Amino acid sequence: MLKSESSPAELSKSRFIFRSRLAGLAALCLVAALLAWPTQVAAQNFALTASPLSPDAVAPGGTSSISISVTTDPGFTGTVNLTCQVTASNLSPTDPPVCTISPATVTPPASASATITTKGDTTTIAYQISITGVAASTGQVVTTQPENLTVLSVTPQFTITVQKAVSPSSVSAGSGGQGLVQVNPINGYSSPGFPTSGVTLSCATITPLVTIPPVCSFSYPSGMTSLPVNGVPVTSTVTISTFGPVTTGALAHPREFPALWLTMPMFAFAGIGAAVGGKKSRKAWGLVALFVMSGALFLTPACGSNSSTTTTTPNGITPNNAYTFTITGVDANGVISSNTGTTTSVNPTVSLTVNTPKN
């Protein structure tokens, strides 16, 4: 049998269903493309995070730091260039902080660090520090929120440190030793009146306390009584002296070659023997005379003089003890040395042990 032809109504219905299905498929493809497009764009992004400043307040000449982390979405390729910006409320601060990043170029995921350095005369105000990253492949720019760094207003001052201990460390009374100390300026310290005036050093305390203690002194530039300081460390030699016996003189009693006088009778006998004897006898007596002369020459230094020395103790004698000296310094304005950065002010010490004087 022949198959019957479809009616126009059925053909129209079939075409409608086909077109509907085709339109639905196209819509699905469009939706899928739209959903995939943001993902592909996001894959080219990177993120930049920065830790808080550590510390967020420094004295002039101090430093602070920031830890930087660079992350990306999947599919990111290329490098990110990092820079650091420093801004201030004061439009023209003196020697503003300098920020450097290491490394300046990274391949994410990666980390870097920023170091913020100030100088001794950096203006004491608040500064804003921010980090910027630029993707080399896409040009994407990301900048962190500014962080505040405060440069504190501080008083210039100085500390003293011992560079070399007193040597020798143990001496007899009447002797001494030397060491080396250093004056360290901080916060841009300069001694008032530099270069004609400076820091006067002294041993503020000596322990234990005794009647005749050791004495300490310090070296200064020629013609000065203090140590000039101008922003850089300078050194001074500390000398510790003690009191002991003093030699006052020597008494000498010269003698006129007594050993040679003792040999005169022997020379007389040798002469007589040589005169009355024969040739062999004269040789023998000659050898005797030579022997006597040699012995006299050896005895002459031993018997030539007699001397003695005397000592006194006009200043007394420093007692045996282990002494400790606390070193301080003060300038013309009354600024006293101190160890800043600690909870207490602790000045440096040197020591010297004194023993019984040698005879």
Same domain, 218 and 287: no
pLDDT band at 307 (very low <50, low <70, confident <90, very high): low
The dihedrals phi and psi of 300, each to the nearest 5 degrees, come to -60, -50
Residue 30 resides in a domain: no
Same domain, 216 and 329: yes
Task: Please report, for the domain that includes residue 93, its CATH number.
Answer: 2.60.40.10
Same domain, 318 and 201: yes
pLDDT tens track for 134-172: 999 999 999 999 999 999 888 888 999 999 999 999 999
Range of the domain at 273: 248-311
H/E run at residue 296? helix 279-303
Q: What is the pLDDT of residue 1?
A: 46
Residue 343 resides in a domain: yes
Contact call for residues 329 and 183 (beta carbons, < 8 A): yes
Helices and strands in the chain, H and E counts: 4, 20
pLDDT band at 321 (very low <50, low <70, confident <90, very high): very high
Residue 37 resides in a domain: no
Average pLDDT score, the chain:
81
pLDDT-wise least confident of 13-27, 146-160, 262-276: 262-276
Asked which of 92, 123, 151 is the last residue of a domain, the reply is 151
Q: Is 60 exceeded by the pLDDT of residue 275?
A: no
pLDDT-wise least confident of 8-12, 86-90, 118-122, 203-207: 8-12
Q: Is 80 exceeded by the pLDDT of residue 14?
A: no
Residue 16 resides in a domain: no
CA distance linking residue 23 with residue 16, whole number of Å: 10
Residue 19 resides in a domain: no
What is the Rg, in whole angstroms, of the alpha carbon atoms belonging to the chain?
48
Same domain, 233 and 263: no
pLDDT tens track for 224-235: 999 999 989 999
Lateral strand order in the sheet of 176-186: 157-167, 176-186, 234-241, 215-218
pLDDT band at 343 (very low <50, low <70, confident <90, very high): very low
Q: What is the pLDDT of residue 9?
A: 66
Q: What is the pLDDT of residue 248?
A: 72
Same domain, 201 and 337: yes
Residue 21 resides in a domain: no
Residue 273 resides in a domain: yes
* Token digits of residue 113: 């660090």
pLDDT-wise least confident of 39-43, 72-76, 315-319: 39-43
Same domain, 184 and 94: no
pLDDT tens track for 286-295: 565 565 566 5
pLDDT tens track for 119-133: 878 999 999 999 999
Asked which of 117, 151, 185 is the last residue of a domain, the reply is 151
pLDDT band at 285 (very low <50, low <70, confident <90, very high): low
pLDDT-wise least confident of 39-48, 249-258, 333-342: 249-258
Q: What is the mean pLDDT of residues 73-93?
A: 91
Same domain, 236 and 255: no
User: 54 or 257: whose pLDDT is higher?
Assistant: 54
Neighbouring C-beta atoms of residue 322, cutoff 10 Å: 12
Same domain, 188 and 199: yes
Same domain, 119 and 146: yes
The dihedrals phi and psi of 317, each to the nearest 5 degrees, come to -125, 130
Same domain, 238 and 336: yes
Asked which of 151, 174, 192 is the last residue of a domain, the reply is 151
Q: Is 90 exceeded by the pLDDT of residue 277?
A: no
Same domain, 122 and 227: no
How many domains is the chain partitioned into structurally? 3
- % of the chain surpassing 90 pLDDT: 54
Same domain, 219 and 337: yes
CA distance linking residue 124 with residue 89, whole number of Å: 11
Residue 143 resides in a domain: yes
